[in-house]
Amino acid sequence: MTADALIALLPIMVVAGAAIVVMLAIAVRRNYRLTVILTLLGLVTALATLPLAAERAPLAATELMRIDRYALFFIGLVLATGVAVTLLCYDYFAKREEQKEEIYILLLTTLLGGAVLAASSHFASFFLGLETLSVSLFAMIAYPIKERLPLEAGIKYMTLSGAASAFLLFGMALIYAEVGVLSFAELGRLSATADFQPSVLIGIVMIIVGLGFKLSLVPFHLWTPDVYQGAPAPVTALLSTVSKSAIFALLLRYFVVSGSYSYESLSAVLTFIAVASILVGNLLALLQDNVKRILAYSSIAHLGYVVVALITGRVLGSAFAVEAVAFYLVAYVVSTLGAFGVVAVLSVGGDEAETLAAYQGLFWRNPGLASIFTASLLSLAGIPLTVGFVGKFYVFSSGVNADLWLLVWTVVIGSGVGLYYYLRIVLAMMKSADGVATAAVPAAPAPLVGCLTLTVLVALLLWLGVYPGAFMEMLQSLSKTLS
């Protein structure tokens, strides 16, 4: 490995190093604040090395990883999300467990897995990154071991995740048995010259099944509401943002680089998944009274929208798909972090603030948090002036340009239904504060760190919504680097 490759890998290596440093620091002396500071320091250092790596890009660091601007963008997204989640965890876990430092090691290894996924161009690094991500998440979901729901959620996620990994491995094995290569680029080169139809196609479908589980797309979504509800709120934020965006980045790279767009029947499979995810996610969210479950179903629907953008890449070319997917994922990550961040901040004092009743009259009790929550929900619903609107516009226009009217109509119907349940939460917050509300949530002082993080997130959400031009240009230039 050359020195250039090592420098290009710096962001990933710094995160891995940070995990080890944090572990050793905990082994020497348990100090909650020091652990958090070390974690943040590691993440910020890793973010600071991104420009260094970008100078070397594009570059293949062995066959396993390809550091190009596409990869660096998603690594940046994963790490920035990590910073936000660390800050949200700080208040949330401060008063809870008696051994709460380890969650930051697991957080760092989760981010490491996500970063590896964003850069991997080979089945081996793909699988290792995915497992690092999932294994860390099992433990994070079940972190409050004295409580029942998190443990149940952790076991559910672990069992189903294991089954999904088995599908994934079987798919990879089928492709390898037929083509004899493991790197995406080689696979693309070979399948352009020869026809490997049946087994490669079955392999790809099995990979989609495995990833569909992790992305909670519809036929594989059954675990989502339970796990989202059971996991501690900051971990839910991590689960719904980092793992989804990193895995989708990998899926898109796989589709573009390995030439999977050339299989026509694959579009039909993905269309079914997208339509089912959007409809099922939005319709089931209507029936829920638990904010975490509503957000879980809404995330199923959102991933359906991203799949729409993925499908259109077949007609419109990969560059536009990359741009649309990347923008939508950023919009989704920012809005979801905002929404789950509010849940986390409100849950600091005691039990999880997850029932709709707990939010009743929030506007009168805590106008700041309520406005932040409203902004995030409106962004998830895709209301203009928020980043969610621009993301949805991307999906919509790519569907129209590609003449995929079934998908366009599904997106329209889904967005319409979605508005209803997002506004239901907003309405609950506006109701008068008498009676239930004060009893349901103890009036804890809102923690400073969490509130500051949320303010920054909302500023970003509005800024990207009002003035997305510069960001779109950046995405346009990076979308051409993936090939």
Q: Are 75 and 11 in contact (CB under 8 A)?
A: yes
Minimum Å gap between C-beta 5 and other proteins is 10
**Ramachandran region of residue 445, left (φ > 0), alpha (ψ -120 to 50) or beta?**
beta
Nearer to other proteins, 23 or 472 (CB): 23
Which region among 110-118, 214-222, 246-254, 405-413 touches other proteins (by CB under 8 A)?
A: 110-118
* Cα–Cα separations (whole angstroms), residue 423 to 174, 355, 356, 373, 419: 46, 15, 12, 11, 6
Q: Binding of other proteins at residue 57 (CB under 8 A)? A: no
Q: Are 256 and 483 in contact (CB under 8 A)?
A: yes
Indicate which single residue of 21, 23, 34, 202 sits in contact with other proteins (rule: CB under 8 A): 23
Q: Binding of other proteins at residue 143 (CB under 8 A)? A: yes
Indicate which single residue of 19, 200, 239, 270 sits in contact with other proteins (rule: CB under 8 A): 19
DSSP, collapsed to helix, strand or coil, labels residue 61 as strand
Q: Binding of other proteins at residue 131 (CB under 8 A)? A: yes
Indicate which single residue of 46, 84, 87, 105 sits in contact with other proteins (rule: CB under 8 A): 105
Size of the site for other proteins (CB under 8 A): 37
Nearer to other proteins, 94 or 440 (CB): 94
Q: Binding of other proteins at residue 470 (CB under 8 A)? A: no
d(CA 367, CA 159): 41
d(CA 54, CA 72): 7
Cα 79–Cα 83–Cα 84 angle in degrees, nearest 5: 120
Nearer to other proteins, 140 or 285 (CB): 140
Which region among 58-66, 83-91, 240-248, 307-315 touches other proteins (by CB under 8 A)?
A: 58-66
Minimum Å gap between C-beta 289 and other proteins is 30
Q: Binding of other proteins at residue 24 (CB under 8 A)? A: no
Q: Are 392 and 415 in contact (CB under 8 A)?
A: yes
CA pseudo-torsion sign 120, 124, 129, 130: positive
Indicate which single residue of 2, 20, 427, 435 sits in contact with other proteins (rule: CB under 8 A): 20
Q: Which of residues 372-411 bind other proteins (CB under 8 A)?
A: none
d(CA 109, CA 128): 12
DSSP bridge pairs for 290: 355
Q: Token match 């793909």: residue?
A: 126
Cα 247–Cα 280–Cα 235 angle in degrees, nearest 5: 45
Which region among 96-104, 233-241, 405-413, 466-474 touches other proteins (by CB under 8 A)?
A: 96-104
Catalog residues that contact other proteins under the rule CB under 8 A: 1, 9, 16, 19-20, 23, 61-65, 98-99, 102, 105-106, 109-110, 112-113, 116, 124-125, 128-129, 131-132, 135-136, 138-140, 142-143, 145-146, 154
